[in-house]
């Protein structure tokens, strides 16, 4: 279960998947109602907000309006329920994901590939809402329109939560992150990646010393200083390249694009990749 935490209201979503969710909802919603929904989300009108079992529940404070006889601030109940993808359809989609190294590697490293929707198109499915049939929204307020400003405000909070956990897209469609990872790990590519991740996650082993042990050598062992400083065995002119790591930057990528400590609007992984490239280039000078 997810609860509303420290959501940055100045910008509801920093990630591409959160922004695409907002764009999908904007395509299905009247712009005037969305603008009022944004004001509600920014104005701390949402009293509670949870995501549980693929459904979104929220309590939103209404407005006092004596003209309509409302003298006490009302509290409205909002529910968002997304159309789940069937187990058989998920099985087919996961098989397609598991056959592509570029997709399965990023998902198992807790990244959301920007081409993920291409997996679902041949199956006549979509991960993000594409029509009003993909979700149902209800609110206890008297507004006859749907979405009302209370529901529209909750849309933006869902996008903010997607920044923290992109796998909510799967959860809202009926597949938990644990089940997704479990199924991906059964594939040949998933098994290879899981083995590499387990090696990276091994606990460090203690050692007696990080330095080579000191050895005392008698000066009488060498006939002259040349023999002492210059070994008869020459050093190799070339060095063998280090073995390539199957998955680079695992420690960085497992933090995700927007880990909790990363307060900037740009991607954490992209920033680290730029930094490593700069360090690598400087090391070659």
Mean pLDDT for all residues in the chain: 79
Strand partners, 57: 50, 79
The answer as to whether 21 is a domain residue is yes
The answer as to whether 278 is a domain residue is yes
How confident is the model over 144-169, as pLDDT tens digits? 878 888 888 888 888 888 888 888 88
**One domain, residues 57 and 155:** yes
Residue 218 CA to its chain's centroid (Å)? 61
**One domain, residues 151 and 29:** yes
The answer as to whether 176 is a domain residue is no
**One domain, residues 150 and 258:** no
Please identify, among 166, 199, 227, the residue that sits at the C-terminal boundary of a domain: 166
**One domain, residues 160 and 252:** no
Where is pLDDT greater, at 249 or 73?
A: 73
Where is pLDDT greater, at 276 or 228?
A: 276
The answer as to whether 54 is a domain residue is yes
**One domain, residues 23 and 130:** yes
For residues 160-188, one letter each, b for 16 or more C-beta atoms within 10 angstroms of the residue's C-beta and e for the rest, the string is bbbbbbbbbbbbbbbbeeeebeebbbebe
Please identify, among 134, 166, 198, the residue that sits at the C-terminal boundary of a domain: 166
The answer as to whether 92 is a domain residue is no
Residue 10 has a pLDDT of 40
The answer as to whether 281 is a domain residue is yes
The answer as to whether 11 is a domain residue is yes
Where is pLDDT greater, at 31 or 150?
A: 150
* Top mean-pLDDT range of 33-37, 38-42, 184-188, 273-277: 184-188
Kindly state the greatest CA–CA separation across the chain.
108
**One domain, residues 144 and 52:** yes
Q: Which domain holds residue 159?
A: 2-85+125-166
Helix (H) or strand (E) holding 77: strand 75-82
**One domain, residues 162 and 70:** yes
Please identify, among 113, 137, 166, the residue that sits at the C-terminal boundary of a domain: 166
How confident is the model over 88-97, as pLDDT tens digits? 999 999 999 9
How confident is the model over 117-142, as pLDDT tens digits? 888 989 998 888 888 788 888 999 88
The answer as to whether 235 is a domain residue is no
Tell me what percent of the residues of the chain surpass a pLDDT of 70.
81
**One domain, residues 156 and 281:** no
**One domain, residues 60 and 152:** yes
Decide: residue 192, CB within 10 A, 0-12 exposed, 13-18 middle, 19+ buried. Answer: middle
Residue 48 has a pLDDT of 85
**One domain, residues 24 and 137:** yes
How many domains does one find in the chain?
Answer: 2
**One domain, residues 138 and 273:** no
């Amino acid at each position: 279960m997810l609860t509303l935490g420290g959501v940055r209201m100045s910008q509801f979503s920093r990630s591409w998947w959160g922004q695409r969710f907002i764009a999908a909802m904007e395509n299905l919603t009247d712009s005037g109602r969305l603008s009022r929904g944004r004001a509600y989300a920014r104005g701390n009108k949402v009293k509670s907000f949870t995501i549980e079992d693929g459904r979104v529940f929220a309590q939103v404070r209404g407005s006092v309006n004596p003209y309509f006889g409302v003298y006490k601030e009302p509290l409205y109940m909002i529910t968002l329920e997304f159309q789940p993808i069937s187990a058989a359809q998920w099985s087919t989609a996961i098989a397609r994901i598991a056959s592509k190294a570029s997709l399965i590697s990023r998902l198992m490293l807790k990244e959301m590939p920007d081409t993920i929707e291409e997996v679902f198109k041949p199956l006549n499915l979509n991960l993000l809402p594409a029509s009003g049939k993909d979700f149902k929204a209800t609110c206890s307020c008297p507004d006859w329109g749907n979405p009302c400003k209370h529901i529209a405000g909750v849309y933006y909070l869902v996008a903010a939560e997607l920044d923290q956990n992109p796998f909510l897209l799967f959860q809202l469609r009926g597949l938990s992150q644990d089940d997704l990872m479990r199924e991906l790990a059964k594939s040949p590519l998933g098994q290879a990646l899981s083995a590499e991740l387990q090696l990276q996650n091994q606990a460090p082993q203690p050692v007696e010393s990080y330095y080579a042990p000191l050895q005392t050598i008698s000066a009488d062992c060498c006939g002259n200083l040349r023999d002492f400083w210059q070994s008869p065995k020459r050093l190799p002119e070339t060095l063998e390249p280090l073995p390539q790591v199957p998955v680079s930057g695992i420690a960085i990528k497992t933090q995700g694009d927007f880990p909790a400590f990363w307060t900037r609007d740009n991607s954490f992984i992209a920033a680290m990749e730029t930094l490593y490239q700069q360090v690598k280039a400087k090391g070659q000078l």
